[in-house]
Amino acid sequence: MSVLEAHGLTYHAQGKPLVTDASFRLEPGELTMLIGPNGSGKSTLLRLALGLLAPDVGEALIDGTNVRTLSPVARARKAAHLPQTRPLAWPMPVRDVIALGRFAYGAAPGRLAAEDSAAVARAIAACRLAGFEDRAADTLSGGELARVHLARALATEAPLLIADEPVAALDPRYQHEVAQLFAHAAHEGRGVLTVVHDLPLAARYADRLIWMKDGRIVANGTVEETMTAARLADVFGIAAKIERSESTLTLSVIGPA
């Protein structure tokens, strides 16, 4: 189990503040979803939290260690990262793309120890990719390829899973399956932080929502605590109807506010 903490992360590019004074804590056992409009700084915040960008101010810690001091291998053993853009260098078979998730353990395609092969097999099963293993990855549909990249991240079996829009290309059934997969990973003890744009999906599955607007975290709490029509209008500029029954909150987006 690992804990990710961000303290006052601030980052500028070309004189413009992209992220300002962002602090949060990602706990094991919690599915945290990061939401906010296009350009509000979500991807930049994830990259700062992972140490892929150097903050101007503040720091991100994994288990008390500044992420910028971790080697790429040490970081990969702590945190799996599914970036928003996922380039494929060449048309590798699906199994080999997923096996790249094991590089931090010394594995490479064609050189997998038994535990690497077992982790790859678990990721293939979790992402429902059985039957695709030998396909060249560049022949897959957009949604199939998205599941391969997710499987690569899952194959790391790192205690933290940080994903940027993992369900964007997926059909509704797979969106729910992936959200359930993330919830399951979290409730097994991982810390899971994922960007999503689908607000009803976030309302349904998130244990915690972090709301971003103009580079700042403007709310951080449970769905019940933070999901209000007023906040949706303020952060996203949308009118929405929220219905609360005993244990569920249902969100219907009506349109622009």
Ligand X SMILES: Nc1ncnc2c1ncn2[C@@H]1O[C@H](COP(=O)(O)OP(=O)(O)OP(=O)(O)O)[C@@H](O)[C@H]1O
CA neighbor of 88 nearest in space, from 144, 168, 156, 127:
144
Q: Does 20 bind ligand X (CB under 6 A)?
A: no
CB under 6 A: which stretch of 38-46, 66-74, 87-95, 134-142 binds ligand X? 38-46
Q: How far is the CB of 138 from ligand X (least distance, A)?
A: 24
Q: Does 166 bind ligand X (CB under 6 A)?
A: no
Query: Between 14 and 71, whose beta carbon lies closer to ligand X?
Result: 14
Q: How far apart are CA 257 and CA 248, in angstroms?
A: 24
Q: What is the DSSP letter of 211?
A: E
CB under 6 A: which stretch of 10-18, 89-97, 142-150, 244-252 binds ligand X? 10-18
Q: Does 38 bind ligand X (CB under 6 A)?
A: yes
Asked if 93 and 137 touch (Cβ cutoff 8 Å), the reply is yes
Q: Which residue in 20, 43, 156, 226 binds ligand X (CB under 6 A)?
A: 43
Query: Between 36 and 55, whose beta carbon lies closer to ligand X?
Result: 36
Q: Which residue in 39, 172, 189, 221 binds ligand X (CB under 6 A)?
A: 39
Q: How far is the CB of 231 from ligand X (least distance, A)?
A: 17
Q: How far apart are CA 76 and CA 57, in angstroms?
A: 24
H/E element, 251: strand 249-256
CA neighbor of 125 nearest in space, from 97, 95, 101, 96:
95
Q: What share of the chain is helix, strand, coil (3-state, %, to 5)?
A: 35, 30, 30
Query: Between 120 and 210, whose beta carbon lies closer to ligand X?
Result: 210
Q: What character string, x for contact with ligand X (CB under 6 A) and - otherwise, covers 78-107?
A: ------x-----------------------
> Residue 160 carries which side chain, given as an amino acid letter?
L
Q: Which residues contact 174 (CB under 8 A, 6 or more apart)?
A: 128, 143, 147, 167
- Residues found near ligand X in the complex (CB under 6 A): 13-14, 16, 18, 36, 38-44, 84
